Chain A
Amino acid sequence: MIADDLKDFKKFTPKTLPREEPFVSGHRACQGCGEVLALRQVAKAIGTPMIAVSATGCMEIISSPFPQTAWAVPWIHVAFENAAAVAAGVESGLKILVDKGRIPKKEIKVVAFAGDGGTADIGLQALSGAMERGHNFVYVCLDNEAYMNTGIQRSSSTPYGATTTTSPAGKVTPGQTTWKKNLPAIMAAHNIPYVATASPAYYLDLMNKAKKASLIKGPAYLHIYSSCPTGWRHGADLAITVSRLVVEANIFPLYEIEEGRYTVRKNNQPKPVEEYFKTQRRFAHMTPDMLQTIQDRVDRDYQRLLQMEGMTNPAVAQKEKPKGATAE
């Protein structure tokens, strides 16, 4: 039961943020990268002792150009689609070596990081397998909504309407024609103990979720919105702005699913989706009709999320009064 796992869990406050940086500066991320910010927040929240596993992708490339490394903790990267399988091997290996007395008995957190392509597309099978088998590790999807490392190609996590190099807005098709795959719901369907969404603009919320995820025994999944100035065509100073707007517009609601119980961070006075869409040139071609279609979908999805909360966690759903999301 996760209540036991979390009995010593204390929320971070601005004053109790750890000073430790498992992921250090000097890496080669683009200026204004929201993804590396999210990665650093997760690593900081979980802390040492930790073994990090990366899928191939932006975060792997920018952190490990031999002979340099931005990882102050043990780190392994094998390939694109297998971060969850490698993490499963790491976790199984550690466990048996402790059992056999070959390494000191100390709990080492295993954390896998992958992008949306490595999670929702090519890595989905390995992720599903690892979650189903119940390995004790945290899987973090840093979702920048396309294959940024390979040149901004669409993924199944690319939002409707976005222009990418393989879903270009042209004369006939208006960018991405499909809706973002709902990875947190797929993970929740695996009946794992903990699933949460987070955005680096809400850094305390993000770090508390990461900490919780690491304390819970068994698989935990974090889906983190990760803005990409290069791929989304927005200013390098806008990472936090877009990471906040996406939540304020209910496009990327923040919620947790603990042992199947949903807890949604309420935002019943959302900003219009247009405010978010106008910040990024990947949406520059969008027509009022398209924006309305998206608005309808966002409203519907948010209501559905509240219904899930009502069904699975009625006490919270009734107790909490609607309030706007704040950047606590």
Chain B
Amino acid sequence: MAKRVGMEVSIAISEAVKLANVDVISAYPITPQTHIVEHLSEFVSDGELHSAFVPVESEHSAMSAALGASAVGARTFTATSSQGLALMHEIMYLAASMRLPVVMSVVNRALSSPINIWNDLSDIMAERDSGWVQVFAINGQEAYDLTLQAFKIAEDPRVLLPVAVNLDGFILSHVIEPIELFEQQEVDPFLPPYKPVLRLDPEKPVSMGAFGSPEVFIEVKKQVEEALIGSQKVVAEVWKDFGQRFGRIYKPVESYQTKGADTILITMGSITETAMTAIDSLREKGRKVGLVHIRLWRPFPFKEFLQAIKGAKTLAVLDRALSPGGVGGPVGLEVKAALFGKDERPYVAEFVAGLGGRDLTVDTFIEVLDKAEKYSQKQKDFQYELIGVREK
């Protein structure tokens, strides 16, 4: 039976990676690195995990080595954050387009400058269009579960795409939470060893990473796009299987107190649990507010999202990354795009908050919901509002 223990979330993730019996781990300690790979290297060092640990000289090489290892058919893992993810950027696109199912924990943190190691989502949002499957955890247990699920999703022959499991820097990565840990014998039937469709094999030589002229480039991109869109079906299957085995149900979009809600707050990541408290306190006062949080960011679950916000008059989107010179943040942009062209669409108030680790408290969410309702009544015409800026 699964046991529940208090554990730092980073360490819980390394426990999940160990249960996945990963073959190759490549990692570099930029930003600084989290305890995820430190703990994994201890497992390898103590013989508890039979893996190759490649302590590369940069994050760029971490992703490059991961691709090389994945190409020979190894189950491959790496973890990064912030500047490290930015340095991987070039190779992120290649991982997806070369269909190499690497799994990566992305401990979300701000991008410099000013240099700042704290949490926001600006690192991963710069990788939005890289072609990776991207999921966001709201707590430690989810981070643990999503990590295990990620290998099964990535390696499915219908997907063969890399998966990024996002968790908030410090707020999740460095806190101790109660985590239900699985036993190896429970995990093995859920996650058998990786069976690559194609690998670098002298018996059956293939060329990977060929030069694509304009005559073939779009076709390759379309295949990747179809695989990414199609991965949602596999994600659903894996979540169903996981739910049946381990009793926790995952959905691409989750609703909280949305029944009869006029105003719905949209969140991603660990702020969701704080936002739930805000919703509870407003509901107690009779306010018709609810919460929707997006777990599956790529591919974006349009149908499930539209279903979740159905009936709302106002949406308050809380972004934790800024798209400078644009319409605010990436989540707001996605939400607005999802609604555009619908006959009945709610008023969308877009807020950007919590950049660089600025605390988001229950009061922040109440402020955002208050403002959203006020702006909605006036049908205020604005792109977005930055929350919590000290002007003096």
Given contacts A125-B58, A133-B55, contact A90 B72 (CB under 8 A): yes
User: B35 on the interface (CB 8 Å rule)?
Assistant: no
Q: Does B206 contact A (CB under 8 A)?
A: yes
Please tell me which one of the listed residues A60, A73, A129 contacts residue B61 in the complex, with CB atoms under 8 A apart: A129
Give the chain B neighbours of A71 by CB distance below 8 A: 205, 207
B298 at interface by CB-CB < 8 Å:
no
B64 touches A86 (CB 8 A): yes
B68 contacts A93, C-beta separation under 8 Å: yes
Interface size on A, residues (CB 8 A): 50
**A266 contacts partner chain B, Cβ-Cβ < 8 Å:** no
A106 / chain B contacts, CB cutoff of 8 Å: 202
Q: Tell me the B62-119 residues at the A interface (CB within 8 Å).
A: 64-74, 76, 90-91, 94, 98
Chain B hits for A90, CB < 8 A: 68-69, 71-72, 200
Interface residues of A in 80-127 (CB under 8 A from B): 81-82, 84-97, 99-100, 102-103, 106, 108, 125-126
Interface flags, A41-76, vs B, CB<8A=1, else 0: 000000011110100000011001111010111111
B50 at interface, CB cutoff 8 A: yes
User: In the complex, A90 Cα to B69 Cα: how many Å?
Assistant: 5
Q: How close is A300's CB to chain B, nearest CB, in angstroms?
A: 33
The answer on a CB contact under 8 Å between A89 and B54 is yes
Do residues A85 and B208 form an inter-chain contact, with CB atoms below 8 A? Answer: no
Shortest Cβ gap from A80 to chain B (Å): 9
In the complex, what residues of A have CB within 8 A of residue B70's CB?
A: 89, 93
Interface contact B211-A82, CB-CB below 8 Å: no
B60 touches A126 (CB 8 A): yes
The answer to whether B157 has its CB under 8 Å from any CB of chain A is: no
Given contacts A74-B200, A85-B56, contact A69 B73 (CB under 8 A): no
Q: Are A85 and B64 in contact (CB under 8 A)?
A: yes
Residue of B nearest to A112 (CB): B68
Is B213 positioned at the interface, with any CB of A under 8 Å from its CB? yes
Min CB distance, A93 to chain B, in Å?
A: 4
Bitwise interface map of B from 7 to 51 toward A, beta carbon under 8 Å scored 1, else 0: 000000000000000011010000000000000000000000011
For A81, the chain B residues whose CB sits under 8 A away are: 60
Task: Tell me whether A88 and B207 are in contact in the complex, defined as CB-CB below 8 angstroms, given that A53-B68, A93-B24 are known contacts.
Answer: no
CB closest residue in chain A, given B195: A102
Asked if B370 is an interface residue, CB under 8 A from chain A, the answer is no
Query: In the assembled complex, which residues on chain B have CB atoms less than 8 Å from the CB atom of A17?
Result: none
B57 is an interface residue with CB less than 8 A from chain A: yes
User: Do B202 and A96 touch (CB < 8 A)?
Assistant: no
Q: A88, B71: Cβ atoms under 8 Å? A: no
- B212 contacts A66, C-beta separation under 8 Å: yes
> Smallest CB-CB separation from A87: which chain B residue?
B68
Instruction: State the CA gap A93–B102 with chains docked (Å).
Output: 13
B216 within 8 A of A: yes
Query: How far, in whole Å, are A312 and B194 apart by their CA atoms in the complex?
Result: 48
Cross-chain contact B211 with A85 (CB below 8 angstroms) = no
> Which chain A residue has the least Cβ–Cβ distance from B54?
A92
Contact residues in B for A73 (Cβ distance below 8 Å): 202, 205
Among candidates B61, B65, B73, B94, residue contacting A97 with C-beta atoms closer than 8 Å: B73
Selected contact of B211 from candidates A48, A61, A95, CB within 8 Å: A61
Asked whether any CB of chain A lies closer than 8 Å to the CB of B1, the reply is no
Given A90-B68, A92-B24; A78-B56 close (CB under 8 Å): no
Q: A53-B68, A89-B66 are in contact. Are A96 and B209 (CB under 8 A)?
A: no
CB of A94 within 8 A of CB of B72, answer: yes
Chain B residues, Cβ within 8 Å of A85 = 56, 60-61, 64-65, 68
Q: Mark A125-141, 1 if CB is under 8 A from B, else 0.
A: 11011101100000000
With A51-B202, A88-B54, A90-B71 as known contacts, state yes or no: A65 contacts B64, CB within 8 Å: no
Within 8 A of A (CB), among B284-312: none
- Quick check: is A209 within 8 A (CB to CB) of the other chain? no
> Would you call A327 an interface residue if the criterion is a C-beta within 8 Å of the partner chain's C-beta atoms?
no
| Alpha-carbon gap, A102 to B66, bound state (A) | 18
**1/0 contact string of B176-192 vs chain A (CB within 8 Å):** 00000000000000000
**Distance of A132 Cα from B65 Cα, bound (Å):** 15
The CA of A67 and the CA of B67, in the complex, are separated in Å by 21
Give the chain B neighbours of A108 by CB distance below 8 A: 202
Q: Per-residue CB proximity of B208-243 to A under 8 Å, as 1/0? A: 111111001000000000000000000000000000
Q: Are A103 and B57 in contact (CB-based, < 8 A)?
A: no
Q: Which residue, of A66, A94, A108, has the highest number of chain B Cβ atoms within 10 A?
A: A66
**Closest chain B CB from A50 CB (angstroms):** 7
Residues of A within 8 Å of B129, CB to CB, are none
- Report chain A residues within 8 Å CB of B24: 89, 92-93, 96
Interface check A79, CB cutoff 8 A: yes
| Minimum CB–CB distance for B36 against chain A, Å | 19
Closest residue of B by beta carbon distance from A94: B72
A76 CB contact (under 8 Å) in B60, B66, B209: B209
The 9 closest A-B pairs by CB, nearest first: A89-B68, A129-B57, A89-B65, A49-B202, A93-B69, A85-B61, A85-B64, A82-B64, A77-B209
Cross-chain pairs A/B with CB under 8 angstroms, 19 sampled = A51-B72, A60-B211, A66-B212, A66-B216, A69-B207, A73-B202, A82-B91, A84-B61, A85-B56, A86-B67, A89-B67, A89-B70, A90-B71, A93-B52, A93-B70, A94-B72, A96-B52, A97-B73, A133-B55
Partner-B contacts on A (CB < 8 A): 48-51, 53, 60-61, 64-67, 69, 71-79, 81-82, 84-97, 99-100, 102-103, 106, 108, 125-126, 128-130, 132-133
Interface residues of B (CB under 8 A from A): 23-24, 26, 50-52, 54-58, 60-61, 64-74, 76, 90-91, 94, 98, 193, 200-202, 205-213, 216
Given contacts A73-B205, A126-B61, A126-B64, 14 further A-B contacts (CB under 8 A): A48-B202, A51-B202, A60-B211, A66-B216, A69-B210, A75-B208, A76-B207, A78-B64, A86-B71, A88-B61, A89-B72, A90-B68, A92-B54, A130-B61
